[in-house]
Amino acid sequence: MAEMADAAGCSKCSIITISSNRTDLRDHYLHQLSDFDFRSYHLVFIDEPGCDKRAGFRRTRWSPRGVAPVQVSRFQRGQRHQILQVYCQDDILMS
């Protein structure tokens, strides 16, 4: 999703703003789902998060006013784990 947004020249903030303002598109999508007689058990949501050793590090920094925040830490290259999980109505399936 992030790659598609970058390719289209959109930022995360603009996507959130557009999605919250475009209720007509959301309503049209839900109407299309009802036209095809979808049920809740037909919908499946796929999520593919990843994790590595940097999971415990802070993402936000602070610094005195007028000084750019800089983080100095040793780069740790380690194994990166990809987890493919599927959310459905009855269960969470993992592979």
69 belongs to a structural domain: no
Q: How many domains does the chain have?
A: 1
Mean pLDDT of all residues belonging to the chain: 72
Residue with tokens 């100095």: 72
Name the pLDDT band for 53 (thresholds 50, 70, 90). low
Query: pTM higher than 0.75, yes or no?
Result: no
**By residue range, what is the domain housing residue 12?**
2-53+78-94
Residue 70 lies in a domain: no
Give percent of the chain with pLDDT exceeding 70.
63
pLDDT at 67: 85
- The answer to the question of residue 72 being in a domain is no
